[in-house]
Amino acid sequence: MYNGGDHYDGNGGGAANANSLFSGGGFMPSQTTNTPEGSGGGITKTRGAQTLLPLTVKQIMDASQTNDDKSSFVVNGTEVSTVRLVGRMMNKAERITDVRFILDDGTGRIEVNRWANETSDNTEMGLVKDGDYVIVNGGLKAFQGKRHIVAYSVRLVTNYNDITHHFLYCIYVHLDLAKAKKSATQPQVTANASTWNQAPPPNNQVPTLSASGNAGGQELTDMVMNVFHDPVLVNLDHGVSIAQVASRLNISDAVARSTVAHLIDLGNLYPTIDDNHYKSTLNG
Amino acid sequence: MDTSAPSPFVNGETLKTFLGRRVRTVVQVQHNEGGVLLGLSTDGHQLTIRGASGAPEPPHYIEVIGIADSSLSIRAESCTDFGENFDGVAFNGLCKLANDKYNYLFL
């Protein structure tokens, strides 16, 4: 169903120059660093602000312009210059030097300009016409207060699931940026994006069995996690069994099982060969 | 740039909140006769699409952009054949998110 991925992803697209433009491993913002207060108005700058961001026209409309340089935009507190939009092509006007059209993505309309530098540029633009759904990668610009896109590539949508995917990705990236901003304002939480996909360390458990106010539950989950992190048990091929947990902590099998089930829900444990053996996500 | 006339994503459930306004949805064609098309929305409502001439045969999905006539009918301005392999479940999920929790990204 989603085999149009090569069509959608900048790295696998037909335009060879897209690789150099969008190198950096996709367009999920990474390695965010915080600029000192004052110099960037508290804006989080991504690596070179060149990260390709999937956006809706509405988001571009809502984007603010940075104080020091009117040519750069800020979405979600992140500087953005290269964007991906998906929508229908309207009012296509071909000229010798460039092709202009309006992109309507359902949230709004924005003018797109595609300069014809190479023969391949003309070929690419010849494949799309008014009414077609297109994927536009390009730079976000402003001229005399009017925002528009200077497109690097304009490609026809052949798998219509790409449209759904694009808008879901807009939401996902929006949430990811919001999360980065939130963690940047909390010094005790690391702002390093690379740690987001890891399970929480065992001593930093989110409320577990103690959700009802039972502090003993919190201790129990910690104790159970400690069993899974015991150096003696860590390297067992099949992980740690429920019976081992119960005997180590001198608790009943039923309590051990329910605690383990809770830790699975939290993503701290996963089952291995059967329903009796588990490993910690921290140990792979 | 203009965001004054959006065409929001809707499913059968949220269509009624945009009566008289331009919307876009995806339906699976059930029956097509004389320019009046019956289609199943991605959340299981049967919608009547008027002005959908040249629409494909069942079980193709079509995207309809048009004015919401009533809570179960749309006057189409444009129809696009989305083929047989469109993922209605994902689209329905998008409709819910775009009209509820994250509507500020869309409207």
**How does strand A82-94 pair with strand A98-104?**
antiparallel
Residue A162 shares a structural domain with residue A48:
yes
> Same domain, yes or no, for A219 and A162?
no
Q: Taking Cα atoms as reference points, which of A264, A260, A266 lies closest to residue A206?
A: A266
Q: Let me know whether A34 and A152 are in one domain.
A: yes
The residue behind tokens 């306004």 is: B21
pLDDT at A215 over 70: no
Domain count within chain A:
2
- In this structure, the answer to whether residues A251 and A143 fall within a common structural domain is no
Q: What is the pLDDT of residue A180?
A: 78
Q: Which of A111, A164, A170 sits opposite B105 (nearest CB)?
A: A170
Q: Which residues fall within 8 angstroms of residue A239, CB to CB, at 6 or more apart? A: A228, A272, A273, A277, A278, A279
pLDDT digits (tens, 9 = 90+) for A6-18: 445 444 444 444 4
Mean pLDDT computed over every residue of chain B: 92
Confidence at residue A150, expressed as pLDDT on a 0 to 100 scale: 94
Q: How far apart are CA B14 and CA B43, in angstroms?
A: 10
Residues A230 and A154 in one domain: no
How high is the pLDDT of residue A71?
Answer: 67
User: Poorest-confidence range of A31-45, B40-54, B87-101?
Assistant: A31-45
Residue A132's domain spans which residues? 5-184
Write the CATH number of the domain with boundaries B1-87: 2.40.50.140
Residues A72 and A175 placed together within one structural domain of the fold: yes
Would you say residue A189 lies in a domain? Answer: no
CATH of the domain at A272: 1.10.10.10
- Whether residue A59 lies within 8 A of chain B, CB to CB, comes out as yes
For CA atoms A53, A56, A59, A60, the dihedral sign is positive
Rounded-to-integer distance, Cα A89 and Cα A132, Å: 6
CB contacts under 8 A, A 162-181 vs B, are: 164-165, 167-168, 170-171, 174
- Contact between chains at A168 and B87 (C-beta distance less than 8 A): no
Complex confidence, ipTM: 0.94
What's the pLDDT score for residue A202?
47
- Cα separation, A224 vs A260, in Å, equals 8
Higher confidence at residue A113 or residue A26?
Answer: A113
Tell me which of B7, B77, B105 to substitute to probe the interface with A (most A C-beta atoms closer than 10 Å): B105
Of the three residues A137, A153, A184, the one that is the final residue of a domain is: A184
Closest residue in B to A167 (Cα–Cα) = B94
What tokens does A193 get? 């994006």
Same domain, A124 and A248: no
**Are A179 and A238 in the same domain?**
no
| Residues A233 and A94 reside in one and the same domain | no
Domain of A31: which CATH number? 2.40.50.140
Q: Which of B3, B96, B104 to mutate to test the interface with A (most CBs of A within 10 A)?
A: B3
